[in-house]
Amino acid sequence: MEAVIEREISCERKGEAGVILLDRPRALNALTLGMVRAMRQALDAWEKDPLVTRVVIMGAGEKAFCAGGDIRKLHDLGKAGHLDEARAFWGEEYQLNTRIKRYSKPFIALVDGICMGGGVGVSLHGSHRVAGDRFLFAMPEVGIGFFPDVGATYALPRLPGETGTYLALTGERLGAADALALGIVTHVVPSAAFPAVLDALVAGEPVDAALAAHASVPEPGPLAAERPIIDSCFAAGSVAGVLAKLDEAAAGGAAFAARVAATMRSKSPTSMAIALEQVRRGKTMDFEEAMRTEYRIVCRIAEGHDFYEGVRAVIVDKDQAPKWRPARVEDVTSEAIAAYFAPLGPDELELP
């Protein structure tokens, strides 16, 4: 087992830094349970080690920091009836997200390439998030019948205006400039400077100074111009209400609103309703309550239809033609969505 973990991830002390390298470049550094456990073990050890003054996480290869959890494996476990194994992954992943959020030392994510789903969970909650030239952020879960998890319930409602709701319901992608403007990343640094940044962090230079030495402020990203439409349309109280406002804006000539409405109509109606409820409830939750809530949702999602259908359509058969149940936004009931958020009793997620 150890040899497998070593191929997937390395966690080692270099100078004053504990350095985590997600090392599955062919799989876009998608997370496995072994990787989650290795990170947790390393963080526990480094927190007690006075020689380690900061933690750095990065991804191998040029395509991705981390494209998420190993969704195909989770799909296969659920289809085979091994729900306990799937729940174990999500539970331990959420515990790791919480560990990172509450870590007592600077936690610096050097993010170049794709950062989605589980990759967001091991970067966004750290103290410093650094975007390189290839940075691409998204929480695209509603497109596979899933929901924005790994702490999105806490993080997305705290983004400016209704941008968090927009990201949750559309799965739209952001580049570095928009991510910096929203506070998703704290610094934008050229990819070519990442080795120098890592060297400075390993050498023990003050973290903020090491990052500021290479950081720049890019021109505003494309999202900036669309903020009035986003903040107006995504303030609606239901997914149907959001779509109605987008349709109205599109009828008035807003091409962005038309494109976003079309995007949403391809997503799982149930997933979008869950996501909207998440960001509304999450505004008043602390991080731990948000993670327990996500575990409640994921346990119900794993027993449902849309997740398996979404993964089939996008990842397994790749026909891009999921048949959602229910198929229409109007047919998703508030009672059905409330059931995803109900307590799990003795099966609630335990957090440190």
Print the SS3 string covering 74-141. Answer: HHHHHHCCCHHHHHHHHHHHHHHHHHHHCCCCCEEEEECCEEECHHHHCCCCCCEEEECCCCEEECCH
CA nearest to 198, candidates 186, 211, 208: 211
- pLDDT at position 3 is 38
Taking each helix axis from N to C terminus, what angle separates 269-282 and 239-251, rounded to the nearest 10 degrees?
100
Q: Residue 204's beta-bridge partner residues? A: none
Domains of the chain are 2-347 (3.90.226.10)
Following CA atoms 344, 70, 288, 16 in sequence, which dihedral angle do they give, to the nearest 10 degrees? 150
Residue 343's alpha-carbon distances to 287, 296, 348, in angstroms, are 17, 7, 7
Terminal-to-terminal C-alpha distance of the chain: 26
- Tell me the C-alpha distance between 174 and 98, whole Å: 24
131, 180 Cβ separation under 8 angstroms:
yes
Q: Where are the alpha helices (DSSP H) in 283-319?
A: 287-301, 306-311
- pLDDT at position 7 is 80
- Tell me the C-alpha distance between 65 and 27, whole Å: 11
Residue 130's alpha-carbon distances to 124, 165, 170, 315, in angstroms, are 10, 23, 24, 29
What are the pLDDT tens digits along the chain (352 aa)?
Answer: 343 444 899 999 999 999 999 999 999 999 999 999 999 999 999 999 999 999 999 999 999 999 999 899 999 999 999 999 999 999 999 999 999 999 999 999 999 999 999 999 999 999 999 999 999 999 999 999 999 999 999 999 999 999 999 999 999 999 999 999 999 999 999 999 999 999 999 999 999 999 999 999 999 999 999 999 999 999 999 999 999 999 999 999 999 999 999 999 999 999 999 999 999 999 999 999 999 999 999 999 999 999 999 999 999 999 999 999 999 999 999 999 999 999 999 999 999 7
Q: pTM, whole model, 2 decimals?
A: 0.96
Q: Which helix (H) or strand (E) holds 257?
A: helix 255-264
Q: Cα 257 to the chain's mean position, in Å?
A: 24
Q: Which residues are catalytic?
A: 69, 118, 141, 149
- pLDDT at position 239 is 98
- pLDDT at position 2 is 40
- pLDDT at position 5 is 43
DSSP 44-85: HHHHH-TT--EEEEEESSSSEEE--B-HHHHHHHHHTT-HHH
Q: In this structure, how many other beta carbons lie within 10 angstroms of the beta carbon of residue 102?
A: 12
13, 19 Cβ separation under 8 angstroms:
yes
Question: Which three-class secondary structure state does DSSP give residue 31?
Answer: strand
